[in-house]
Structure 1
Amino acid sequence: MLGTQKEAAREVQMEIERRKNEALQGFKSATGRLLVPHVGGLVSPHVHNLLSE
């Protein structure tokens, strides 16, 4: 019984890690679309376009 509980806990922990990593990747992806590199740091695409003119 204890072995089964440990295995279930391990599976739940792995699922939590997987979902956390997916969420982090989604955040990084969204952030990458919202921010673009600029000499002074990260700025929004709108500001980047204004600075590029």
Structure 2
Amino acid sequence: MTLEEKVKELYNELKPKCQAEGLNLNWEIHKALRRFRKEHPDLDDQWAREAEGL
């Protein structure tokens, strides 16, 4: 899974919740990505390399 794919997945997952509860969608995605990266350090390295190319 690429970083872009994960962000899209989180966006689609969190958008309804954030709209219903009045939460900041970008902040909630940020927090979810941080949790995911801590749980999957192997992807963290891959994503760091991808981010350098953006």
TM range, smaller chain: 0.3 to 0.5
Higher strand share: 1
Bigger-Rg structure (1/2): 1
TM-score (norm 2): 0.33
Larger RCO (CA within 8 A; separation ≥ 6): 2
Higher helix share: 2
